[in-house]
Chains A and B, each alone.
Chain A
Amino acid sequence: MHIVIKLFGVPLSCPITNSMNIWFSCFLFIIVTPAHIVRLYDRFEALDKEKTGHLRPQDFGAINRLAMNPIGDRIIGAFFSPGQETVDFHSFVRILAHFRPADKKHPKDPSMPEPVNSRTSKLKFAFQLYDQDKDGKISRAELLQVLRSMLEMQVTEEQLESIADRTIQEADLDNDDAISFEEFRKSLEKVNIDHKMSIRFLR
């Protein structure tokens, strides 16, 4: 998106940039727009090769970097609710919004629902990527599945199993041989989730 301004009679085309505050917009005659949404929409359209207005799993699969990500399939799966085969732009943005850096300026309002990019929501999102059957617990089998995707042919089955056992041992506090969301949260309490599960340019 451009606006054309005439500087000393020379037409210059300027891109509309994001998040410039009022000072600079007055100074530089540029309108403030939520350009990140525009950018994501451009991306959505670029991925939607058949121009249907929806994305299907194949459209995600066409992204090279995602295809070579060991858990790429799970990430694609996170966009599609159970039973759905397409995702529209609204849901696309909602899922990506999990990875927005947290808004530190405004204090948390307890009466409002949990924002989608808070620490808890991010952890829930990560938890769901492990917990594929959505029973609220990461079972040993589910953990093994993730490990298998990330390590594939580089380690033996016994090594995988011993890693899974060790992990559950460490995190499982109520000895039910599975990791619940609370145990998951507790074992990651020192990790800077906001930094590690955020994409800067989605601010």
Chain B
Amino acid sequence: MTDLCEGGMDDLWSITTLLLQVWFSVMIGLIMIPAMFGLSLGVTSVYIQILVKILEVTAGRLIQREGGSMEQEMGELRRYRTQSISRGEFALSDSFYFYRKGLESIVDDQVTQRFSSEELVSWNLLTRTNHNFHYISLRLTIIWGLGVIIRYCVLFPLRITLAIIGISWLVIGTTLVGFLPNRRVKNWLSELVHLMCYRICARGLSATIQYHNKNNKPQKGGICVANHTSPIDIVILANDGCYAMVGQSHSGLMGVIQRSMVRSCPHVWFERSEMRDRHAVTSRLRAHVAAKRNLPILIFPEGTCINNTSVMMFKKGSFEIGGTIYPVAIKYDPRFGDAFWNSAKYNMVSYLLRMMTSWAIVVNVWYLPPMTRQEGEDATKFANRVKSAIAHQGGLLDMAWDGSLKRDKVKEEFKEHQQKMYSSMVVGTKARNSQEPHTESTKS
């Protein structure tokens, strides 16, 4: 009896080792090596397409999103009228649009909205994006259950393994490169190591990144500014080029990573005490930029993570350094996973776990043409100019509210704008109508 049991145990053990071997060879052969060389087997794009089809078929439109422009909404409100809309004129129901907008703004302000996640039009089978969920159907629940199993049991272990491999490779690789004395070879190797590691990490998140306008890519000695949604932005951007990171030096695992990264090429890590002194920060960054052979600095001027529907005020510190600014717009596709890091709600670990159990991360990155500060333009104006360019390109809202703007004046302008829009619907076509009085009488 015991012989049989032992035999059974041996079999189990050999099966396990075999499985592990298969697992690792699949990982290395199919995922890591192509990732390191920037090739793609096309598996991820196929996966994304299948996912989109499934989501469209199953989830459909579960959550109605409010909105539509004023014209759209007014048109819908007036649809019941027998006369055509083009005649303009006022309808008693027109005011409903304004009432609703007013009440909506009382309940939730745009200013507070950008610090909470974007609400989707239709549910993407992730519980975390389910704000208004009601139990809909058994079929949907089963599909959701399947999704949970796939995400947590199949995708998650794969991604964790990749992430661990990626980070360890970064630490080991950069430390090794740090021992080399020669300048040119060292730079080339360190770039290679960084790129490989970030590519592996990106695969570890099932990230599909589309880069636009690569000719505007940030050059050495420049400053790259981008809108900030999550810590993953760094991985996204570094997949296509090498940057010098700027940030606070941490302890623990992050500290180990930071220290080893510095060995192979200069990054700018600040101690906590240094961060308070703005002059010290600016001068150090200026020194880095001045050495033209250094990699471009990567800065997120918003200072905090925003939910990727709008761009907040840029802190002017980054724009006082001088040098050429290379703006970059990053827009995540919210259908596949909510990439926004709400640092008040989640800490880094739970955020990363959420990221690794989302469907995928689909990003669009636009490189914008470089900008420099013009004669007589102060840092704030320059920052706003860059911000508008980024917001415009990424299809994000350009938040204009700022303490320094005169509040009353801005309000009046916006109010007039609304009135203008509305009046063009009511009266705008009246000029046309007044030329045809006989048709009016026949219609009425």
- Which A residues fall within an 8 A CB radius of B? 2, 10, 12-13, 15, 17-21, 23-24, 28, 40, 43, 46-47, 60, 63-72, 75, 96, 99, 126, 129-130, 146-147, 150-155, 159, 163, 166-167, 171, 179, 184, 187-188, 190-191, 193, 196-203
- Chain A binder among B97-105, B177-185, B301-309: B97-105
Given contacts A28-B127, A154-B427, contact A21 B100 (CB under 8 A): no
Interface of chain A: mostly helix, strand, loop or mixed: helix
List chain A residues, Cβ under 8 A from B410.
Answer: 64
Counting chain B residues whose Cβ lies within 8 A of the other chain, the interface size class is 35 or more
Looking at A21, A64, A72, the one whose CB has the most chain B CB atoms below 10 A away is A64
Given contacts A71-B95, A191-B80, A196-B100, contact A159 B430 (CB under 8 A): yes
Shortest CB–CB separation between residue B369 and chain A, in angstroms?
32
Near A by CB (< 8 A), chain B positions 401-435 give 401, 407, 410-412, 414-416, 418-420, 422-423, 426-427, 430
Cβ A166 vs Cβ B89 within 8 A = yes
The listed residue with most B CB atoms (<10 A of its CB), out of A18, A196, A198, A202, is A196
Q: Shortest distance in angstroms between B413's beta carbon and chain A's nearest beta carbon?
A: 8
Q: Is B96 a contact partner of A196 (Cβ separation < 8 A)? A: yes
Residues of B within 8 A of A166 (CB): 89-90
Are B345 and A68 within 8 A (Cβ)?
no
* Complex Cα gap A202–B98 (Å): 18
Which residues from chain A contact B102 at a C-beta distance below 8 Å? 65-66, 69, 71-72, 75
Complex: A10 Cα to B346 Cα, angstroms: 13
A66 to B73, CA, bound (A): 18
20 additional contacts (CB under 8 A) given A163-B427, A167-B91: A2-B345, A12-B350, A15-B345, A17-B130, A21-B134, A24-B133, A67-B415, A68-B415, A71-B98, A126-B96, A146-B95, A150-B419, A151-B427, A154-B422, A154-B423, A166-B89, A187-B92, A188-B92, A196-B97, A199-B100
Rounded to whole angstroms, the CA-CA distance of A63 and B415 in the bound complex is: 13
Contact present for A66 and B346 (CB under 8 Å): no
Candidates B77, B90, B416, B430; contact of A196 at CB < 8 Å: B77
For the complex, give the distance between the alpha carbons of A46 and B94 in Å: 30
A179 and B341 alpha carbons, distance in the complex (Å): 52
Spot the interface stretch: B29-37, B39-47, B107-115.
Answer: B107-115
